[in-house]
């Protein structure tokens, strides 16, 4: 597609349930990022992929959070045993630059609400 | 790790006025400083960036200045228009080579017609 695609756009779940958020980056972009945006907060870094490997997962808040990327393309962010504080917009971004910083192209985000 | 502070958190100006948003960073090795604009309900988009080998960069009504000694950089918007109303985020790359960007908390700019 022309841009970064994320699904679902909206997800409402009950506390304790697992959720999966999907990101389809721009074709050919080797770098993929997950950020979290809580109400009134900035963009909180979660994890970064270069190809299928994750050189930096330092932002994952707890071991309930995990992410994978397959085929150097689609990525899935999984949150197990969701808590109310997990409610936020989860933004995915991709970039074509390898080892040099360049523009991040963001998706529209997945809004997660944990009841 | 890198800490990016942004201020003010909100700013309201009259159409035609200038607006300045300031950011500070902590990692002296950072060498890439982008600014992203997020309109209400939309995705963040890059509007301008600057690398550490220059002190200023301009693009029409927006400009960014960088002071590496003081570890701060600023976004300047001149002749503001209502469509400039948005949340603006500054960012820096920790360790100067990492792909990770650390963002500030954002500043909500309102341009009143």
Q: Is B94 on the interface with A (CB under 8 A)?
A: no
Q: What is the pLDDT of residue A56?
A: 83
The pLDDT assigned to A15 comes to 97
d(CA A107, CA A60): 19
Chain-centroid distance, C-alpha A36 = 7
Confidence of residue A46 (pLDDT cuts 50, 70, 90): very high
In this prediction, residues A23-41 reach a mean pLDDT of 90
Chain A's closest residue to B105, CA to CA, is A42
* pLDDT score at A3: 93
Nearest residue, CB atoms, B89 vs list A42, A107, A108:
A42
> Are B99 and A101 an interchain contact pair (Cβ–Cβ within 8 Å)?
yes
Provide the pLDDT for residue A84. Answer: 96
- What mean pLDDT is predicted for residues A30-59? 88
Q: To the nearest whole angstrom, how far is the Cα of B23 from the nearest Cα of chain A?
A: 13
Extended strands (E) in chain B: 4-7, 10-14, 19-25, 32-38, 45-51, 56-59, 62-67, 72-77, 86-92, 102-103, 107-112
B22-54 confidence digits (pLDDT tens): 999 999 989 899 999 999 989 999 999 998 888
By the CB < 8 Å criterion, does B48 face chain A? no
Mean pLDDT on B70-96: 93
Q: Rounded to a whole number, what is the distance in Å from the CA of B43 to chain A's nearest CA?
A: 5
Task: Give the tens place of pLDDT for each residue, A85-106.
Answer: 999 999 999 998 754 567 899 9
Residue A80 has pLDDT above 90, yes or no: yes
Phi and psi based region of residue B17 (left: phi greater than 0; alpha: psi -120 to 50; beta: remaining) = beta
pLDDT of amino acid A25: 95
Q: Is pLDDT at A1 greater than 60 in this prediction?
A: no
Using a CB-CB distance cutoff of 8 angstroms, which residues of chain B are in contact with residue A108?
A: 42-43
Cβ–Cβ < 8 Å for A105, A29: yes
Percent of chain B with pLDDT over 70: 97
- Average pLDDT for A8-36: 95
pLDDT at B97 over 70: no
User: B98 pLDDT band (50/70/90 cuts)?
Assistant: low
């Amino acid at each position: 597609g022309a841009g970064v695609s994320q699904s679902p756009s909206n997800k409402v779940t009950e506390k304790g349930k697992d959720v999966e958020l999907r990101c389809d980056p721009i074709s050919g972009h080797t770098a993929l990022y997950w950020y979290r945006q809580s109400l009134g907060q900035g963009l909180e870094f979660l994890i970064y992929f270069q190809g299928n490997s994750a050189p930096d997962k330092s932002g994952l808040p707890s071991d309930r959070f995990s992410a994978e990327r397959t085929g150097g393309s689609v990525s899935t962010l999984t949150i197990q045993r969701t808590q109310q504080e997990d409610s936020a917009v989860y933004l995915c971004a991709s970039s074509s630059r390898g080892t040099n910083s360049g523009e991040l192209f963001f998706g529209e985000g997945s809004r997660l609400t944990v009841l | 790790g890198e800490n990016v502070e942004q201020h003010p958190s909100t700013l309201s100006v009259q159409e035609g006025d200038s607006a300045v948003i300031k950011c500070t960073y902590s990692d002296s090795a950072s060498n890439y400083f982008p600014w992203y604009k997020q309109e209400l309900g939309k995705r963040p988009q890059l509007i301008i960036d600057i690398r550490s080998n220059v002190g200023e960069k301009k693009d029409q009504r927006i400009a960014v200045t960088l002071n590496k000694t003081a570890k701060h950089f600023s976004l300047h918007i001149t002749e503001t228009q209502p469509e400039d109303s948005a949340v603006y985020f500054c960012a820096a790359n920790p360790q100067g080579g990492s792909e990770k960007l650390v963002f500030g908390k954002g500043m909500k700019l309102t341009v009143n017609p």
